[in-house]
Amino acid sequence: MSGLSKKEAYLAMYSFLENDYSLSKSDDIARLLGSMSLLQDGSTADPACWEDWEDSIKKVKSGKVNAELILTK
């Protein structure tokens, strides 16, 4: 599998959340999807969403994201 562009990765995340919304009908996810939706010019409905997305990419690339679930007894 080849690497994804920022936009392709964004759309993959959008698709993931859209699928979760279809199962849960969560108002929080619906609001997030609304803010993340792309306008005709390619910008997000809420401009801060793209900035937050780019910040998230920087965190991942710098190794500052740990999604490991640690279970304790």
pLDDT in tens, 30-64: 999 999 999 999 999 999 999 999 999 999 999 99
Q: Pick the residue with more confidence: 67 or 2? A: 67
Q: Does residue 67 fall inside a structural domain?
A: no
Residue 24: domain span: 6-61
Q: 1: how many CB neighbours lie within 10 A of its CB?
A: 3
CA distance 3 to 25: 31
Give 20's contacts (C-beta < 8 A, 6+ positions apart).
26, 29
Count structural domains, the chain: 1
Residue 68 inside a domain? The answer is no
Asked if residue 30 belongs to a domain, the reply is: yes
- Does residue 57 form part of some domain? yes
Instruction: Provide the token pair at 41.
Output: 């010019």
pLDDT tier at 2, thresholds 50, 70, 90 = low
Residue 66 covered by a domain:
no
Q: Whole-model pTM?
A: 0.83
